[in-house]
Structure 1
Amino acid sequence: MIRIVGGFGLAALALAALAWLPTRFGAYGVGLLLGMTGYVTLASAWALFSGPTRYISLATVAFFGIGAYTVAVLSESLPYPLVLAIAGVIGLVVALVVGLATLRLVGIYFVIFTFGLAELIRQLVTWYEVNVTGTLGRYIFLPISSEQIYWQLLGLAAITIAIGWWISRSRIGLALKVIGDDETVAAHTGINIAGVKLALFAVSATIITLVGAIQAPRWTYVEPSIVFNPTISFLTLIMALLGGANRLWGPMLGAIPLFLLFEWLSANFPNHYSIILGLMFIAIVFVVPRGVLAFFEDALKQVRSRRAPEVPVEASEATQ
């Protein structure tokens, strides 16, 4: 109990320090903090479902884009807090519909479907804008500063990590681990596989939708190619895998260094950025498939096993 209270105290201090940071940085620094926090939230939300179940989802950008476009469409007619709430509800409903239809798929079939879902939604939005509204994009004019966007994302990131902490210590978390190991065993133990997967997929998708909605005012002009960019899904996936998708702090540890690296690469190697991104993804899958946290834990175990004193055979027989 004391450790939990102390952990919450340290987390509150860290959160307060992070909230104070924008007051010490200029516009560029706040932009970096904003983008970094956005990807920390995306990776952590993605890992809520995909980490324990091992379902690789590429639908991140579909929900991200839904949130951004909801703000673009409704921001001129409704209060901003209400628009965020509507965006979250839309993301939840879409996740429930998609989850009911697809969560029985496994392996590569689920990956292909989620990638196709993101492209389908992008094409539907594009068709609607061109053929119904007569335009391809929308302007967003909201009196929201970069600092305010950052604080909203920071709060959402804290909530996402808190949800992950609660799940890891609940019966739902245990059920997810069993499902991830073997769904047949999970079914025989009485776990409601469909219900657990649907609930976590819906929570994950709703958070991702809110990230897109919160970040929408950052862009003055929004169009499908911006908010439905598949790079968002791949970056989120790489970040979560690098840190360790099945660890509480893994997605954050993967998102922060990779975001800074990708920012540097996109600024210095814009023509080779996609190639480098693909090579990094391949390297992560082969070198640290379970994430850097698991990699270092395994290395530490090997070091400890080598340092452990060997018991002579005569001594072990004498003790028996």
Structure 2
Amino acid sequence: MSRSGFKELAIAACLAILAGFVPLVFNNYWLSISVTAMMYIALCTSWVMFSGPTHYISLASGAFFGIGGYLVATGMSDYQMSFWLMAGISALVATILAGLIGAATLRLSGVYFVIFTLGLAEMIRNLVSWVQNNFLGSRGLYVLTDFTEAHIYWMLLVLAAAAYFLGWYINRSRLGFALRIIGNDETVARHVGINTATAKIVLFMTTGFFGALVGAVIAPRYSYIEPNQVFSPELSFMVVIMALLGGAGRLWGPIVGVIPFTLVWEYVSLQFPNQTTMFIGLIFLLIVFVLPNGIVGRLEQVAVKIRQGGH
């Protein structure tokens, strides 16, 4: 391991340890905001693992998140299954689904992948709603556990840390090297012998795995689950915007994007509840025209100018 790689890993571990004290320090209001932020940090980190090096924009986060939440709710409410068993099943189902989606779309050009993932959460939401209304009765599902907000926060922190450390390892592996070549020029990657389809599918499956686990962990927070609640296309856009705001080129970019966005989002949702969609649009325009490489990219540009000025 290089010195810079060890330093990055050590800093990440220290931040994770410090983050673990949040429930012991903050009151219930700030803990609730922290749970939301940690949820998006976990989702954005797993998103950046795939979309960062490949430059494929995935809008499937809402679908995987919904699978995790809905399967946990179904198993616990209808069949009295344990939370942990259903969380594992939901992660397995989402991982397999991600593999199937990847096999069907990642062999094609990127635009088809974006379009398909955009409609995936909505398609699953409508399918689940149709099955419920026609065969199971129109009703929601209860997820009753002994988990507190602190427990949910700590579980999300573990998922976020696991996603980061897995991404850190992949970035330094042959798979990560192959993905960076694919992101730069996929044609060149194929010519040098890289199985581009397999590499992309394998990494895309990790986003399904983590997305479902995050949805499963969040389900007890909602207590009452409906398809319209967990299969939310808006969540997919939120994940993409937060990741791009922080900087998708770096694995730790989501932390930089999620925390300020969550705080501003909380204020906008309370003060201007009817303008939240406009706010998302404005942030997206800000990213495109002002911060195309995210906050991290802008900070790196400033650091380079300072070093050049010093010489």
Q: Give the TM-score band, short-chain normalised.
A: over 0.9
- The one-letter amino acid paired with 1:25 is F
1:278-309 alpha-carbon deviations (Å, 9 max, x no partner): 1111111121112121222223323443454x
Give the match's secondary structure for 2:248.
coil
Whether 1:104 and 2:107 are equivalent positions in the alignment is yes
Aligned identity (percent) is 45
Alignment partner, residue 315 of structure 1: none
Whether 1:55 and 2:84 are equivalent positions in the alignment is no
**What CA distance in whole angstroms lies between the structure 2 residues aligned with 1:6 and 1:51?**
21
Contact map agreement 1:129 1:137 (CA 8 A) in 2: no
Alignment partner, residue 178 of structure 1: 181
Which of 191, 196, 202 is the equivalent residue of 2:194?
Answer: 191
Whether 1:267 and 2:267 are equivalent positions in the alignment is no
Give the match's secondary structure for 1:75.
helix
Alignment partner, residue 95 of structure 1: 98
Q: What residue ranges of structure 1 are gaps of 5+ in the alignment?
A: 309-320
1:200-250 alpha-carbon deviations (Å, 9 max, x no partner): 000111101110011000012111221112111111001111111120211
Contact map agreement 1:243 1:291 (CA 8 A) in 2: yes
RMSD, aligned CA:
1.6
**What CA distance in whole angstroms lies between the structure 2 residues aligned with 1:217 and 1:95?**
24
Whether 1:221 and 2:224 are equivalent positions in the alignment is yes
- The one-letter amino acid paired with 1:130 is N
1:28-74 alpha-carbon deviations (Å, 9 max, x no partner): 12211111100000110111111110001111101000000011101
Which of 187, 200, 206 is the equivalent residue of 1:203?
Answer: 206
**What CA distance in whole angstroms lies between the structure 2 residues aligned with 1:59 and 1:75?**
25
1:65-84 matches, cutoff 5 A: 65-76=66-77, 77-84=80-87
Contact map agreement 1:75 1:142 (CA 8 A) in 2: no
**What CA distance in whole angstroms lies between the structure 1 residues aligned with 2:119 and 2:7?**
45
Whether 1:238 and 2:257 are equivalent positions in the alignment is no
**What CA distance in whole angstroms lies between the structure 1 residues aligned with 2:88 and 2:174?**
29
How far the C-alpha of 1:112 sits from its partner, in A, is: 1.1
- The one-letter amino acid paired with 2:35 is L
Whether 1:113 and 2:151 are equivalent positions in the alignment is no
Would the alpha carbon gap of residues 291 and 6 (structure 1) be closer, same or farther in structure 2, given more than 3 Å must change? closer
Would the alpha carbon gap of residues 146 and 105 (structure 1) be closer, same or farther in structure 2, given more than 3 Å must change? same
1:256-297 alpha-carbon deviations (Å, 9 max, x no partner): 111111111111110111111111111111211121212222
**What CA distance in whole angstroms lies between the structure 1 residues aligned with 2:108 and 2:262?**
31
Contact map agreement 2:105 2:112 (CA 8 A) in 1: no
1:65-84 alpha-carbon deviations (Å, 9 max, x no partner): 00000111012421221111
- The one-letter amino acid paired with 1:139 is Y
How far the C-alpha of 1:5 sits from its partner, in A, is: 5.3
Alignment partner, residue 141 of structure 1: 144
Q: What residue ranges of structure 2 are gaps of 5+ in the alignment?
A: none
**What CA distance in whole angstroms lies between the structure 1 residues aligned with 2:97 and 2:143?**
24
Alignment partner, residue 40 of structure 1: 41
Q: How many residues align structurally?
A: 308
